């Protein structure tokens, strides 16, 4: 009834369990004849080693945990795939957990990380504070944070330059002639949202210094809320109904922008003629939108592979016996990638002035 074990194989082959272990792992050197006998017994019994037992001895499952807010959100599958591919090359598999934007690590986190079920973890887009995290994460378990930052957490991180992205988006809108740009911002306190807003403000301020008629940085033009399409829809609708005037929208992500597009269409505003719209992320729906949505692209798959690699590096290091004497753990690494502008129909209109940029 139960699965066959090494003991069974040993009995079948008439050798000790230690010898079976040796041939299974290919260590030590076994006489060719016994080796053959053992292999034969393994085949006959259809044996395969129990990795849980192995993990107990080695103190390492070859699993890593990946936490994302929601795998159904089109931003995350490519990241998940990137991580999976990166770690698969070292024989690791990924345990996927949806956090649903919970404000603190849940039971899954506890179970996996503290229960030794994974050797490392990647936190993507989580909204958890550094304090509870640092307390919960075992000292010997490497973690890499991506997308959102977790200020104060001592961990490797990968992200894009969100400020720069916000700057690029807003400058582009200014370039195509927008003067009053509505910002559909992300949640307050979330690093990605804050960065994009900072870029927006920076573009507006430096823009005003130009000779061109100053674009306005009006606090009425800034709204904050969840990164969801409905929120983009309702906030744009509210702006439209309140009679607020604006000729451009910079949405902090594509979902928000898609919602905005819908509201605009409903109110008979033409895009890009009446209002130009740009989003952030470049999820594939962006290219398919009506009209196709300009956006600031993130290299999601690559972000995933980088995070995966960083984790593998830490794992290799902690596995190697030779600890450098100075720091037991090297300083956290931080990689910041540059986003890139993807211009499509939603902002394509004749330039107001100069500034060639294709």
Label the pairing between strands 143-146 and 156-160: parallel
Instruction: Output the smallest distance, CB 307 to its own copies, in A.
Output: 15
| Residue 19 found at the interface with DNA (CB under 7 A) | yes
Which residues in 175-214 are b (16+ Cβ under 10 Å) and which e?
bbbbbbbbbbbbbeebbbbbbbbebbbbbbeebeeeebee
**How many alpha carbons fall within 13 Å on the CB side of residue 171?**
19
Q: How is residue 267 written in tokens?
A: 């109110």
Cβ neighbours for 46, distance < 8 A, ≥ 6 positions apart: 4
190: left (phi over 0), alpha (psi -120 to 50) or beta: beta
Q: Which does 34 bind (CB under 5 to 8 A by kind): its own copies, DNA, none?
A: DNA
Return the range that interacts with DNA (CB under 7 A); candidates 49-57, 153-161, 226-234, 313-321.
49-57
Cβ neighbours for 233, distance < 8 A, ≥ 6 positions apart: 259, 260, 262, 263
Return the range that interacts with DNA (CB under 7 A); candidates 20-28, 221-229, 269-277, 283-291.
20-28
| Residue 27 found at the interface with DNA (CB under 7 A) | yes
DSSP letter string, 155-177: SEEEEE-HHHHHHHHHHHHHHTT
Return the range that interacts with DNA (CB under 7 A); candidates 21-29, 193-201, 255-263, 323-331.
21-29
Pick out residues in 286-345 that bind DNA (CB under 7 A).
none
DSSP letter string, 266-295: HTT--TTTT-EEEEEE--HHHHHSSSPPEE
Instruction: Output the smallest distance, CB 2 to DNA, in A.
Output: 5
Phi, psi of 214 (to 5 degrees): -60, 135
Is the Cβ of residue 58 or residue 334 nearer to its own copies in the bound state? 58
Q: Which does 209 bind (CB under 5 to 8 A by kind): its own copies, DNA, none?
A: none
Q: Which residues sit at the interface with its own copies, rule CB under 8 A? A: 1-3, 46, 48-56, 59, 61-63, 70-72, 74, 76-78, 80-81, 84-85, 88, 91, 93-98, 107-108, 110-112, 114-117, 135, 138, 140, 258, 284-285, 288-290, 301
* Binding residue (CB under 7 A) for DNA from 29, 72, 139, 322: 29
* Binding residue (CB under 7 A) for DNA from 16, 103, 323, 355: 16
Return the range that interacts with DNA (CB under 7 A); candidates 17-25, 140-148, 209-217, 301-309.
17-25
Is the Cβ of residue 72 or residue 209 nearer to its own copies in the bound state? 72
223: left (phi over 0), alpha (psi -120 to 50) or beta: beta
Instruction: Output the smallest distance, CB 59 to DNA, in A.
Output: 6
Instruction: Output the smallest distance, CB 28 to DNA, in A.
Output: 5
* Cis previous bond, 291, omega within 30: yes
Residue 316: how many other CB atoms lie within 10 Å: 10
Instruction: Output the smallest distance, CB 52 to its own copies, in A.
Output: 5
Phi, psi of 165 (to 5 degrees): -60, -45
Instruction: Output the smallest distance, CB 6 to DNA, in A.
Output: 3
Cβ neighbours for 209, distance < 8 A, ≥ 6 positions apart: none
Is the Cβ of residue 185 or residue 232 nearer to its own copies in the bound state? 232
What is the per-residue binding string for DNA in 213-252, x denoting contact by CB under 7 A?
A: ----------------------------------------
| Residue 49 found at the interface with DNA (CB under 7 A) | yes
Is the Cβ of residue 30 or residue 71 nearer to its own copies in the bound state? 71
The closest of 156, 158, 200 to 296, measured between CA atoms, is 200
Phi, psi of 350 (to 5 degrees): -60, 140
Give the residues lining the site for DNA (CB under 7 A). 2-3, 5-7, 14-19, 21-22, 24-25, 27-31, 33-35, 47, 49-50, 53-54, 56-59
């Amino acid at each position: 009834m139960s699965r066959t074990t090494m003991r069974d194989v040993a009995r079948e082959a008439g050798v000790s369990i230690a010898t079976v272990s040796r041939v299974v792992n290919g260590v030590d050197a076994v006489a060719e004849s016994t080796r053959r006998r053992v292999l034969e017994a393994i085949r006959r019994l259809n044996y395969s080693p129990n990795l849980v037992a192995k993990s107990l001895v080695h103190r390492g499952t070859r699993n890593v945990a990946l936490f994302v807010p929601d795998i159904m959100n089109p931003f995350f599958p490519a990241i998940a795939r990137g991580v999976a591919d990166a770690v698969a090359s070292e024989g690791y598999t990924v345990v996927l957990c949806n956090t649903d934007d919970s404000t603190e690590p849940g039971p899954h986190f506890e179970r996996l990380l503290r229960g030794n079920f994974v050797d490392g973890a990647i936190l993507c887009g989580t909204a958890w504070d550094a304090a509870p995290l640092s307390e919960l994460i075992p000292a010997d378990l490497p973690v890499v944070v991506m997308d959102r930052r977790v200020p104060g957490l001592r961990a490797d991180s990968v992200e894009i330059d969100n400020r720069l992205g916000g700057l690029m988006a807003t400058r582009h809108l200014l370039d195509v002639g927008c003067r009053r740009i509505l910002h559909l911002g992300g949640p307050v306190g979330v690093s990605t949202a804050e960065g994009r807003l900072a870029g927006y403000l920076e573009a507006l301020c430096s823009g005003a210094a130009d000779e061109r008629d100053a674009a306005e940085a009006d606090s009425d033009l800034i709204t904050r809320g969840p990164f969801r399409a409905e929120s983009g829809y309702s906030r744009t609708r509210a702006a439209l109904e309140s009679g607020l005037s604006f000729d451009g929208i910079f949405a902090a992500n594509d979902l928000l922008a898609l919602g905005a597009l819908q509201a605009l269409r409903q109110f008979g505003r033409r895009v890009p003629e009446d209002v130009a719209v740009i989003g952030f992320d470049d999820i594939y729906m962006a290219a398919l939108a009506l009209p196709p949505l300009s956006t600031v692209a993130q290299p999601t798959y690559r972000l995933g592979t980088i995070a995966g690699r960083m984790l593998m590096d830490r794992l290799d290091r902690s596995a190697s016996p030779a600890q450098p004497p100075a720091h037991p753990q090297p300083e956290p690494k931080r990689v910041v990638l540059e986003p890139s502008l993807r211009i499509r129909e939603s902002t394509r209109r004749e330039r107001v002035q100069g500034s060639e940029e294709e």
